[in-house]
Structure 1
Amino acid sequence: MGKIGIYGSSFDPITNVHLWTANTIRHRCKLDKVIFLPCSSKRKDKQMQTDDSHRMNMLQLAIENNDTFIADDYEMTQNAWNISTYETLTYFKTKYKNDTIYFIMGADLLIDIGKGKWGNSSNLVQENKFIVMARDGINMLKAISSSPILRNHDDGETFHLIDKGLAMEISSTYIREEFSLGGDPRYLLPEVCYKYINEHSLYR
């Protein structure tokens, strides 16, 4: 039985911090694999700046030399209004039925789940395991203890809290802005992705 982390984001584009974060979590939590899961472009709360094909191409280029990283387009192919993280994790638990699945997220998302803002929040917490990264100004233990949804389903193994050394912030938004304004964010993302963006004139 292996341990697999599901790391979702827009990856528009993927950055060096995405890769560093995934590798750090893989090492600290002793994961066998990390699955990079680009979100659907049909989500109403997000607006992608590139086609799905470009996001996936850059992701695959970025991780091609790391056999512990996997790119999966599952959410890209779903209707965003019909799917939630609960359904996504159910899919991966079925696909990797002999492994333990962990959902990787920031503490800000933990608070939203605790407030019931995510689809099927109660069952999501009751039936799954989470690796939660610290965010400035958020007390993760307090967030869990103050939410009935979180505390009543915490069996001591539901949440793996990582509260040290993951504070690096280089956003995809910052990189897109640099490209659009004629900047040069070359060393903030993988070199192959930097070249791909220039070759396809993305984010201009």
Structure 2
Amino acid sequence: MGKIGIYGSSFDPVTNVHLWTANTILHRCNLDKIIFLPCSNKRRDKKMQTEDQHRWNMLELAINDNNQFEADAYEMNQNAWKITTYETLKHFKNKFKDDRIYFIMGADLLIDIGQGKWGNGDLLVKENQFIVMARNEINMLRAISSSPILRNNDDGKTFHLLDKGLAMEISSSYIRDEFSLGGDPRYLLPEACYKYIKKHGLYQ
């Protein structure tokens, strides 16, 4: 049985922090593979700043030299209002029936799930396992214990809480802003992605 992490984000664009986070999780949680899952551009809570094809191309450029990283367009091809993370994880559990699937997220999303902001929250927590990355000094144990959705569906193996040991919070939005304002965030994202953005005039 293999161990696979599902890492969802807009990746608009993918950054060095995304890659560093994925690599940290891969090694510290002894995963066999991490699947990068770009979200749908039809989400109501996020507005993509560039076309899906550009997001996809940059992600492939960023991970093509690591055989333990893989990109999957499943959510990118879905209508966002018809799908939740619960359905997404069911899809991957069916696709990889012989493997154990973990959903990778930040501690801020743990709080959102605990507050009932995610569709099928009870079933999502009850039927899945999560790797949760520390973020913004959020007390993850307190977040779990204070939420009925989280604590009542936790069998002791549901949440793998992980502190990266180093605060790295450079966001895609920061990089987009730098490009749009004429800055040069060259060393905050993979070199191939930087060149791709410059070539195609993205985020101007």
Question: Runs in 1 of length 4+ with deviation above 2 angstroms?
Answer: none
Is the 1:102–1:131 contact (alpha carbons within 8 Å) kept by the matching residues of 2? Answer: yes
Per-residue CA distance 1:53-91 (angstroms, 9 max, x = gap): 000000000000000000001000000000000000000
Residue matched to 1:184: 184
In 2, Cα distance between the equivalents of 1:45 and 1:122?
21
Give the percent of matched residue pairs that are identical in Structure 1 and Structure 2: 78
Q: Counterpart of 2:103 in 1: which secondary structure? A: strand
Per-residue CA distance 1:114-136 (angstroms, 9 max, x = gap): 11110000000000000001112
Is the 1:134–1:166 contact (alpha carbons within 8 Å) kept by the matching residues of 2? Answer: no
> What's the TM-score, normalizing by structure 2?
0.98
In 1, Cα distance between the equivalents of 2:100 and 2:132?
16
Q: Counterpart of 1:101 in 2: which secondary structure? A: strand
Structure 1 letter corresponding to 2:148:
P
Per-residue CA distance 1:155-183 (angstroms, 9 max, x = gap): 11100000241521111011111111111
- Structure 2 unpaired stretches of 5+: none
Question: Once structures 1 and 2 are overlaid, which stretch shifts more, 190-199 or 137-146?
Answer: 137-146
Is the 2:24–2:164 contact (alpha carbons within 8 Å) kept by the matching residues of 1? Answer: no
Residue matched to 1:139: 139
Structure 2 letter corresponding to 1:202:
L
Change (3 A) 1:57 1:117: same
- Output the aligned Cα RMSD: 0.7
Q: Counterpart of 1:73 in 2: which secondary structure? A: coil
Is the 2:42–2:80 contact (alpha carbons within 8 Å) kept by the matching residues of 1? Answer: yes
> What's the TM-score, normalizing by structure 1?
0.98
Q: Counterpart of 1:59 in 2: which secondary structure? A: helix
- Structure 1 unpaired stretches of 5+: none
